[in-house]
């Protein structure tokens, strides 16, 4: 699965511009799913029909988009000012590199005279242009972090693990799914980082009976971190709540039972901030019982996010186990 993760994280796809990631995923799953389609906003919706009766329509969502930046102004000397696409922390930017759609690379730095906490308004991208006329980047051009994938053995480091690792897990689930009573609809969503937008429209279209989002979550296991119960290597995190969603208690309990039955380590997640596609799926139409499985991840929204590989493979096992039997929400 590591090769798949590497291919996904090294692909280029800020929110709203996910076409390359989508094409990569489509090529991976086209042969194993019964049907697939791309909707009006660009969500990739793949369906596996049930193998036996007694199930429901289950939507699994992982988002394809990654955070990035967008050029807002090119000054007389050819320096590019930019804004964020999704949650970009200024502290993570200085000295970093970004890549535009055509492959062109720029370096980020900060106004020398600026003081205090860094803000995006003090920063600029230098693509080596001599003047505004010479600058190949136009206002409105998006870019993403440029950073290689690193395999540390038990742990993986890369940009955009949020949420390409979720995409990799969902691809594996779609591939390995053998015996299930459920119609499993894998949705690779767009524009999660800017407000759960792809999940909003795809959930309306799919009309699931039950849904799970697969996304990353912050941990509290680094030096002097904020208190958070989640850590790397302790298994997938089963979400109880975050800022945008309270998991359906029965869905949450069912995930816990599955993990305990299969002997998969797990953690329970209560997150004060942040949210996932699950939040918008839950309130779609007349409401959808929804849960979320999270992959504990360090250094979220930085160019070097870190996950534990065993957490990743255990998440695949957990979701496959969850889908094996009929689910009673009564």
Partner 1 sequence: MDTWALLKQLSEAPGVSGDEGAVRAILKEAIAPYVDEIRVDALGNLIAVQRATVEDPLRVMVEAHMDEVGLMVIRADKDGYLQFQKVGGIDDRILPAKAVRVGKDAIPGVIGIKPIHLLGSAERKKVLGVDDLRIDIGASSREEAERLVKRGDRAVFDTTFADLGPRVKGKAFDDRAGCTVLAALLAAGPYPVELHAVFAVQEEIGLRGARVAAYGIDPDLAIALEGTVADDLLKEKDESPTTELGKGPALTAMDRSVIVDPRLLRFLIQTAEQAGIPYQIKQPGVGGTDAGRIHLVREGVPSAVVAVPCRYIHGPVSLLDKQDMDWTIQLMEAALKRISPDVLAR
Partner 2 sequence: MEVKTVLQRLSEASGVSGYEDEVRSLVVEQMRALADEVRVDAMGNVVALRRGYAAGGDGPSVMLAAHMDEIGLIVTGVEKGFIRFTSVGGFDDRVLLGQEVIVHGRKDLPGIIGSRPPHVLPASERGRVISHHDLLIDVGLPPDEVTAQVRVGDLVTVNRSMIELKNDLVAGKAFDDRACVTAVLACLDMLQRMRHAWNVYAVATVQEEVGLRGATTSTFAVTPTVGIALDVTFGSQPGVSETETMDVGKGPAIAFGPNIHPAVFERLEAVAKANEIPYQVDPIPAATGTDAWAMQVTKAGIPTGLISIPLRSMHTSVETISLRDLQRAGRLLAHFIAGLDDTFLDALRMD
Q: Binding residues for partner 1, per CB under 8 A?
A: 15-17, 19, 38-43, 70-73, 75-77, 81, 83-85, 138-140, 142, 191, 194, 197-198, 200-202, 204-205
**Alpha-carbon distances, residue 145 vs 29, 97, 160, 161 (angstroms):** 26, 6, 9, 12
Q: Does 241 bind partner 2 (CB under 8 A)?
A: yes
Q: Name the minimum Å distance from CB 204 to partner 2.
A: 10
Partnered with residue 26 across adjacent β-strands are none
Site for partner 2 in 201-240 (CB under 8 A): 227, 229, 240
d(CA 169, CA 47): 16
Q: Name the minimum Å distance from CB 1 to partner 1.
A: 28
Among 54, 136, 154, 249, binds partner 2 (CB under 8 A): 249
Whether 192 is a known active-site residue: answer yes
Cβ pair 210, 327 in contact under 8 A: yes
d(CA 137, CA 6): 28
Catalytic residue selected from 183, 192, 193, 269: 192
How many residues touch partner 2 under the rule CB under 8 A: the total is 23
Q: What is the DSSP string of 37-51?
A: EE-TT--EEEEE--S
Q: Name the minimum Å distance from CB 271 to partner 1.
A: 24
Contacted entry of partner 1, partner 2, none for residue 261, CB cut-off 5 to 8 Å set by kind:
none
Q: Of 11 and 284, which CB lies nearer to partner 2 in the complex structure?
A: 284
Q: CB burial class (10 A; 0-12, 13-18, 19+) of residue 103?
A: exposed
Q: Of 227 and 286, which CB lies nearer to partner 1 in the complex structure?
A: 286
d(CA 277, CA 274): 11
How does 192-206 read in b/e, with b if 16+ C-beta sit within 10 Å? bbbebbbbbbbbebb
Q: Name the minimum Å distance from CB 120 to partner 1.
A: 9
Among 246, 262, 264, 300, binds partner 2 (CB under 8 A): 246
Q: Name the minimum Å distance from CB 15 to partner 1.
A: 6
Contacted entry of partner 2, partner 1, none for residue 81, CB cut-off 5 to 8 Å set by kind:
partner 1
Q: Name the minimum Å distance from CB 296 to partner 1.
A: 29
d(CA 215, CA 30): 22
Partnered with residue 192 across adjacent β-strands are none
How does 283-312 read in b/e, with b if 16+ C-beta sit within 10 Å? ebeeebbbbbbbbbbbbbbbbebbbbbbbb
Contacted entry of partner 1, partner 2, none for residue 138, CB cut-off 5 to 8 Å set by kind:
partner 1
Of 233, 230, 218, 222, which is closest to residue 155 (Cα–Cα)? 233
Contacted entry of partner 2, partner 1, none for residue 72, CB cut-off 5 to 8 Å set by kind:
partner 1
Binding site for partner 2 (CB under 8 A): 227, 229, 240-241, 244, 246-247, 249, 252, 267-270, 272, 282-289, 329
Instruction: Show which residues are catalytic.
Output: 192
């Amino acid at each position: 699965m590591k090769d798949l993760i590497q291919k996904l994280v090294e692909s280029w796809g800020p929110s709203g511009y996910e076409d390359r990631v989508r094409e990569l995923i489509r090529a991976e799953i086209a042969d194993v799913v019964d049907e697939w389609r791309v909707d009006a906003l660009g969500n990739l919706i793949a369906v596996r029909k049930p193998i036996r009766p007694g199930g429901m329509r289950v939507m699994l969502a992982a988002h394809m988009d990654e955070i990035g930046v967008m050029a807002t102004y090119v000054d007389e000397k050819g320096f590019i000012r930019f804004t964020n696409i999704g949650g970009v922390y200024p502290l993570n930017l200085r000295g970093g590199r970004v890549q535009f759609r055509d492959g062109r690379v720029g370096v980020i730095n900060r106004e020398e005279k600026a003081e205090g906490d860094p803000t995006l308004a003090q920063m600029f991208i230098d693509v080596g242009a001599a003047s505004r006329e010479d600058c190949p980047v136009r206002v409105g051009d998006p870019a993403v972090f440029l950073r290689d994938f690193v395999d540390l053995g038990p742990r993986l480091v890369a940009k955009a693990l949020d949420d390409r690792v979720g995409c990799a897990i969902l691809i594996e689930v779609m591939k390995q799914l053998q015996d299930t009573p459920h119609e499993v609809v894998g949705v690779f969503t767009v524009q999660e980082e800017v407000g759960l937008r792809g999940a909003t429209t795809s959930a309306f279209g799919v009309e699931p009976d039950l849904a799970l989002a697969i996304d990353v979550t912050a941990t509290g296991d680094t030096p002097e971190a904020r208190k958070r119960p989640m850590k790397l290597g302790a298994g997938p995190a089963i979400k109880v709540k975050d800022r945008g969603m309270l998991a359906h208690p029965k869905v949450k309990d069912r995930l816990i039972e599955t993990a305990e039955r299969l002997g998969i380590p797990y953690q329970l997640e209560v997150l004060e901030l942040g949210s996932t596609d699950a939040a918008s799926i839950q309130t779609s139409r007349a409401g959808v019982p929804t849960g979320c499985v999270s992959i504990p991840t360090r250094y979220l929204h930085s160019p070097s996010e870190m996950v534990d590989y065993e957490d990743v493979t255990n998440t695949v096992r957990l979701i496959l186990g969850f889908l094996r039997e009929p689910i009673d929400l009564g």
